Structure 1
Amino acid sequence: MTRRLLFSYLTLAVLLLACLEIPLGFVYSRGERERVTGLAEDEADSVSAFASLSIAEGRAAQDLPGRAAHCAERIGGKVLIVDGSGGLLASSHPLTADEERRLASWPGIAAALRGTATADVRTSTIGGVEYLAVATPVAQGGELQGAVRITVPTRTVHERVHHVWLLLALGGLAALVAVAVVGFAIARWTGRPIRELERATNELAVGGTAVPVAITKGPPEVRSLAATFNRTAARLEHLLASQRAFAGEASHQLKTPLAALRLRLENLENDIALNARGSLDAALTETDRLARMVEGLLAMARLDESAAERERVDLGRVCEERRRAWAALYERHGVWLTLAGDYRGEVTAVPGAVEQILDNLLSNALRVSPPGTAVTIDPRRHTPPERRFPHRANGPAWIELHVMDEGPGMTEEQRRRAFDRFWRAPDAPKGGTGLGLALVQRLAHASGGEAVLRRAPSGGLDALIRLPAVAGRGGPGAEAPRPARPLQEAAAPGRH
């Protein structure tokens, strides 16, 4: 904001200086030329009057050469005096015989011998020098006696004009520097409340809390914005505190009655008839499903309000740990759990996210995998198309985590809806809550990645999780990450 305000001030100052200095420079240039022309004409009139007296008294040969030389020295130019027929009377500079013969045909002298005074700016054919030529007739009592021609180089005029333009430029630059200094101070003063609002907004975005911003600084619009921000921040903090309190309290209040309900149902097993055992087992199954649903909802609630910072996670180590943790359960169901892939580096994710993602995906894959099939965990580096060509700019580094099963899979429409909360496929096995994939997607997004469902090469489902890789940590020698702080205990909710 400071740069934009300063740029606005400087732009206005440049426009104002241009509107003032450019016309002033042209006016001075024209005035200087007119002044020099007027001085040359006055000098020509003075020499003409002197020459008229000298010719009338018959002293032209004695007086005029000295007068011409003195005048030429004073004005820094040349003086030429001719008689009525164009013959040379006096000259401040030597002339060739040819030039003396053609004096009467020179444009200025010819006009002066006809009684017309002239002033003209010409460029000499010798040396390319621009000069001002003034010619004035010499007359006495109405009788034309001759002509006076004075030439003055315009170099001096140009030097003065250039000097004035330089002074104007330096003055404009000094004015711009002053405007920049004053404008920077004003911009900083104007932008200080905005920067405080930005700082408070960042604190609110990172930690969920913000210190109230002072509303006594800056323009009225900024003070009104600060007051609105303070009200919004206070309300948001209240809502987050309420949600945080709900997540903490509900975690205890809901688990206890569900555990008590399951215990009471299990105690009824010996007291009910054999034909009612099926209903009891169904009640126990629904109780377990309700417990998993509560865990999933609480996990998403804690994820929404925690805004946890991301940390480095050793993806290869986590995949190996989750494979060992689930291997025994898979073996009991007759399903092989394998770990493939060529990536053993680090990714960035919120604490505990990778573990929960794998737990939910492995639980879903086990639920739909027939005995004798395999589920594969496959972490690999994702190579964008532009990275395959050295002359193109490199894109961001991503790591893909695949969990592929050999189950019935899903249709394209089902894969699009699979991440909706509480949605379950029509042919999904019983016992699911419809929250597992929703939680996976939220965890992936919170970690800066994404979750996608695709058709697996074997015909089942390929759950793809794309996570940002840690720069320079793509090999086996990657540094060990900090211990993860899990958001919740590993659960195994159903697919849908």
Structure 2
Amino acid sequence: MTRRLLLSYLSLTLLVLLCLEVPFGYVYARGEMNRFSSGGQQAAVMLAEVLEEKVEKQTVDDVPTLVADFAQRTRGHVIVVNRNGQLLADSDNTIATGTDLSAQPDIATALRNRSTSTTRQDTTLGGTAYVTTVPGASGSTVRCAVQISYPLAMVTSKIHDTWLVLAAVGLGVLAAVALIALALARWITGPVRALERATTQLAEGTLTDPPATNLGPPELRRLAASFVRTATRLQHLLKAQHAFASEASHQLKTPLTALRLRLENFEPYLDPRAQGSLDEAVGEVERLGRMVQGLLALARLENAATTPEATDLDAVVADRAAVWTAFAGEQYVDIAVVGPQVGQVLAIPGALEQIIDNLLSNALRVSPPGTTLTLATAPSGGDPGVVELHVMDQGPGMTEAQRERAFDRFWRASDVNHEGTGLGLPIVQQLTRASGGDVVLLAAPGGGLDAVVRLRLARAPRTPASRRPRSRLGARQDAMFSSWSDSALPVPEGRQ
């Protein structure tokens, strides 16, 4: 911003200087040329009058002396011819006396009692010259003609010097304006840079260096003060929300667990006809618990300010496939991992595990026995720096309208026959976007649903190779239940 302000000030100053100096220089140069030509013409007329008198009195012997003296004083070249165009005198003695010059256009015009002026190259003077030719006449009688060539070197040098002075003045003004503009731009942009740093800090979670409210223009001071008040209040609200998200889970687990136990304790004393209602009540309590956990998980995600890190997608896919194989086997569903190894992707810590667990949990709910869940990795066709993770099932799938609403919180398809909270896919979307990627739902080839998670590569993809053997279900199973409790993932029936 400092550079743009500086350039704007300098551009405006340069425009003003050009509007002032260029016309001034042009008018000055034109005035100097007019003064020079007028003086030259007047001198030529005066010389012609003197020489015309000499010719009239037939004292032409004095003409060469007068011409030489005039040429020496003016540093010009003088030629004098009589009424017939024959040379009487040449100040440089380059043309023989008596030479007929009446064929020259300027001299012929002067002999017809008319003056001419022009600018042309003069070989005698060795440069550009202002040439004026005037008649020496009394009334309509022309007795001689005088042609004087004045060198333009002196006047053009003076004009050039004037242009150089104007350019130097302009550069000096620009330098002064640049110094003043730089100081002014720094004074203006200093608070803006402080606000930028503060905004970056606030976006990362904590404002440690609030901007000064007593620097810069009054408008920026007021803006800084408003920002500090807003940031302070926002941090307070974020801390309060974060405290709620961290404490509410502990406060809500106990009454929900107690409520479920009390309901189950009613079972021996209930009439068998009320057993169905009791089961439904217990199921609703369990669903309420999962919903609370999902809301708290979303709140923690929204409060967290985590930077994406390089994570080995192949290792995470292998690990989660091994963990879920046992649960899928209880429902007679297979899990297959296909595709090339893609290496490391950018994701916030722990996000890939939660994304895959949520998608596998949803897919397992709708997968009929004897089908296969497929985890597939593939490079993105549109961007070489992006890879795709596909989680495909062979269930009933979704319509296009259902897929568009699937990421809305608490939304569930009207024709589902399982108990869900409607928070699994919103959690997946939140985690994916926080990692700098995106997730979409597509129709799987041959039926079912294809959840496509697109993530950016942390480095160049590795050479495609076959999949490594997946890790077996072992000690990670205990850690899995702990992660479910923290992330509020829906658990398959029978695995609470």
Q: TM-score, normalised by structure 1?
A: 0.86
Indicate conservation of the 8 Å contact 1:201/1:210, yes or no: no
Which of residues 457, 461, 465 in structure 2 aligns to 1:469?
A: 457
Matched residue type, 2:425: L
Indicate conservation of the 8 Å contact 1:405/1:462, yes or no: yes
CA distance in 2: counterparts of 1:266 and 1:141, whole angstroms: 140
Matched residues, number? 475
CA distance in 1: counterparts of 2:427 and 2:213, whole angstroms: 41
Partner in structure 2 of residue 300 of structure 1 = 298
1:65-104 to 2 correspondence within 5 Å?
A: 65-94=64-93, 100-103=99-102
Using the TM superposition, name which of 321-330 and 205-214 deviates more. Answer: 205-214
CA distance in 1: counterparts of 2:207 and 2:253, whole angstroms: 30
CA distance in 2: counterparts of 1:415 and 1:473, whole angstroms: 30
Which of residues 320, 344, 347 in structure 1 aligns to 2:345?
A: 347
Quote the offset at 1:324 in angstroms: 1.5
Partner in structure 2 of residue 3 of structure 1 = 3
Quote the offset at 1:252 in angstroms: 1.0
CA distance in 2: counterparts of 1:432 and 1:124, whole angstroms: 99
In the alignment, structure 1 segments of 5+ residues that lack a partner are 385-394, 478-484
CA distance in 1: counterparts of 2:350 and 2:98, whole angstroms: 105
CA distance in 2: counterparts of 1:24 and 1:440, whole angstroms: 71
CA distance in 2: counterparts of 1:178 and 1:486, whole angstroms: 66
Quote the offset at 1:49 in angstroms: 5.4
Indicate conservation of the 8 Å contact 1:346/1:474, yes or no: no
Asked if residue 26 in structure 1 is aligned to residue 23 in structure 2, the reply is no
Partner in structure 2 of residue 380 of structure 1 = 378
1:273-312 to 2 correspondence within 5 Å?
A: 274-312=272-310
Which of residues 97, 121, 124 in structure 1 aligns to 2:118?
A: 121
| 1:235-274 Cα distance to aligned partner (Å, 9 max, x none) | 2222212211211221111111112223334444455455
Counterparts in 2 of 1:141 and 1:96: CA distance versus 1, 3 Å: closer
Indicate conservation of the 8 Å contact 2:374/2:391, yes or no: yes
Matched residue type, 1:352: G
Counterparts in 2 of 1:273 and 1:305: CA distance versus 1, 3 Å: same
Partner in structure 1 of residue 390 of structure 2 = 402
CA distance in 1: counterparts of 2:28 and 2:484, whole angstroms: 79
Asked if residue 419 in structure 1 is aligned to residue 417 in structure 2, the reply is no
Indicate conservation of the 8 Å contact 2:409/2:422, yes or no: yes
Counterparts in 2 of 1:178 and 1:72: CA distance versus 1, 3 Å: same
Partner in structure 2 of residue 215 of structure 1 = 213
Counterparts in 2 of 1:92 and 1:440: CA distance versus 1, 3 Å: same
Partner in structure 2 of residue 189 of structure 1 = 187
Quote the offset at 1:486 in angstroms: 7.2
Using the TM superposition, name which of 259-268 and 397-406 deviates more. Answer: 259-268
Asked if residue 444 in structure 1 is aligned to residue 441 in structure 2, the reply is no
Counterpart secondary structure, 1:463: strand
Indicate conservation of the 8 Å contact 1:345/1:475, yes or no: no
Partner in structure 2 of residue 35 of structure 1 = 35
Partner in structure 2 of residue 135 of structure 1 = 133
CA distance in 1: counterparts of 2:266 and 2:463, whole angstroms: 56
Quote the offset at 1:16 in angstroms: 0.9
CA distance in 2: counterparts of 1:410 and 1:111, whole angstroms: 102
Quote the offset at 1:220 in angstroms: 2.1
Partner in structure 1 of residue 448 of structure 2 = 460
Partner in structure 2 of residue 392 of structure 1 = none
CA distance in 2: counterparts of 1:139 and 1:358, whole angstroms: 112
Indicate conservation of the 8 Å contact 2:367/2:394, yes or no: yes
Asked if residue 489 in structure 1 is aligned to residue 483 in structure 2, the reply is no
Using the TM superposition, name which of 340-349 and 246-255 deviates more. Answer: 340-349
Asked if residue 336 in structure 1 is aligned to residue 334 in structure 2, the reply is yes
Indicate conservation of the 8 Å contact 2:87/2:98, yes or no: no
Counterpart secondary structure, 1:131: strand
CA distance in 1: counterparts of 2:484 and 2:17, whole angstroms: 64
| 1:416-450 Cα distance to aligned partner (Å, 9 max, x none) | 11111111112212321111111111111111111
Partner in structure 1 of residue 471 of structure 2 = none
Partner in structure 2 of residue 389 of structure 1 = none
Indicate conservation of the 8 Å contact 2:294/2:424, yes or no: yes
Matched residue type, 1:69: A
Indicate conservation of the 8 Å contact 1:359/1:490, yes or no: no
Sequence identity percentage:
48
Indicate conservation of the 8 Å contact 2:312/2:345, yes or no: yes
CA distance in 2: counterparts of 1:429 and 1:340, whole angstroms: 30
| 1:454-488 Cα distance to aligned partner (Å, 9 max, x none) | 111131111111111112254589xxxxxxx9797
Counterparts in 2 of 1:120 and 1:487: CA distance versus 1, 3 Å: farther
Q: TM-score, normalised by structure 2?
A: 0.86
Counterpart secondary structure, 1:439: helix
Asked if residue 178 in structure 1 is aligned to residue 166 in structure 2, the reply is no
Counterparts in 2 of 1:83 and 1:95: CA distance versus 1, 3 Å: same
CA distance in 2: counterparts of 1:271 and 1:325, whole angstroms: 40
CA distance in 2: counterparts of 1:179 and 1:427, whole angstroms: 73
Asked if residue 313 in structure 1 is aligned to residue 311 in structure 2, the reply is yes
Counterparts in 2 of 1:426 and 1:52: CA distance versus 1, 3 Å: closer
CA distance in 1: counterparts of 2:395 and 2:142, whole angstroms: 124
